[in-house]
């Protein structure tokens, strides 16, 4: 074998060895992050076509949705909605990272970090970063109790004054997401949305009168605060 060819082969082996070693070292030093679990008490509702399949905790709804999806006699898609937001949700994507983390060897799990003591955890006060302009900090420094007390008071005041309006907006958006995903082709769809954003409960229910019962009932639940909070405000 020519000397130059042998040197090229030796050089290639060295490079491959270095790359392989580097990859292995990185894999051994990789920290596996544990995904955040689904918030406790979070509820979901599954539909197949316009029929409600199940409602409740993630695991129960997942099982019902999986059974329905595997039914060879049904061609209707299975859609799952988050009751809190009305958003269409992929429960498999939510559950898969948690299941994957459970299968990670113990030595690869991230070491537990000591709890941070910033703020006043025993009182429920948590420290986070807030960015303000200099004039804002100057004003806060002059307020009784200091910046933290003043900011908490301002937030509480805003929540009290904007509470009903925010509840209406959240309910409207929650209902819109569901109706847009599942009822776009139903008669009265646009009339129902117009009534929803006018806070017209009678018009909303009237526009849904011919809709399948399960769709109509779930939409009414999601939209309820849009009408009660509006009348209270």
Looking from the CA of 64 toward its CB, the CA atoms found within 13 Å total: 19
How far, in Å, CA of 184 to CA of 211, rounded?
11
CA dihedral (162, 168, 169, 174) positive or negative: positive
pTM score over 0.85: no
Q: Which backbone phi and psi does 187 adopt, to 5 degrees?
A: -65, 140
pLDDT, tens digit (0-9, with 9 covering 90-100), for 75-105: 888 999 999 999 999 877 665 544 554 555 5
| Rg of the chain in Å (alpha carbons) | 28
Report the C-alpha gap between 57 and 61 in whole angstroms: 6
20-48 CB burial, b ≥16 within 10 A, e <16: eeeeeeeeeeeeeeeeeebeeeeebbbbb
What pLDDT band is residue 15 in, cutting at 50, 70 and 90?
Answer: very low
pLDDT digits over 46-72, tens only?
Answer: 999 999 999 999 999 999 999 998 888
- pLDDT at position 38: 60
CB-based burial of residue 177 (10 Å sphere; 0-12 exposed, 13-18 middle, 19+ buried)? middle
Residue in this structure with the two tokens 């993630």, named with its chain if needed: 58
pLDDT at 226: 94
- Label residue 225 exposed, middle or buried (CB < 10 Å: 0-12, 13-18, 19+): buried
Query: Over the stretch 137-184, which tens digit does the pLDDT of each residue have?
Result: 889 888 998 888 888 888 888 777 777 888 899 999 999 999 999 999
CA distance 212 to 2: 81
């Amino acid at each position: 074998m020519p000397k130059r060819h042998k040197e090229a082969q030796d050089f290639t082996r060295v490079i491959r060895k270095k790359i392989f070693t580097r990859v292995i070292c990185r894999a051994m030093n990789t920290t596996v992050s544990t995904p955040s679990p689904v918030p406790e008490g979070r509820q979901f509702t599954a539909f197949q076509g316009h029929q409600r399949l199940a409602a409740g905790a993630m695991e129960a709804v997942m099982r019902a949705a999986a059974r329905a999806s595997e039914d060879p006699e049904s061609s209707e898609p299975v859609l799952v909605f988050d009751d809190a937001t009305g958003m269409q949700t992929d429960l498999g994507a939510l559950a898969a990272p948690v299941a994957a983390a459970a299968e990670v060897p113990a030595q690869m799990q991230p070491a537990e970090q000591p709890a941070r003591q910033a703020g006043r955890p025993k009182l429920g006060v948590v420290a986070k970063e807030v960015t303000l302009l200099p004039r804002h900090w100057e004003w806060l420094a002059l307020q009784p109790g200091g910046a933290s007390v003043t900011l908490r008071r301002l937030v509480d005041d805003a929540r009290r004054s904007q509470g009903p309006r925010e509840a209406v907006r959240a309910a409207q958006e929650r209902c819109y997401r569901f109706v847009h995903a599942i009822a776009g082709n139903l008669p009265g769809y646009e009339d129902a949305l117009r009534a929803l954003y006018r806070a017209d409960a009678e018009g909303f229910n009237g526009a849904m009168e011919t809709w399948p019962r399960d769709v109509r009932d779930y939409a009414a639940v999601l939209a309820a605060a849009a009408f009660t909070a509006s009348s209270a405000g």
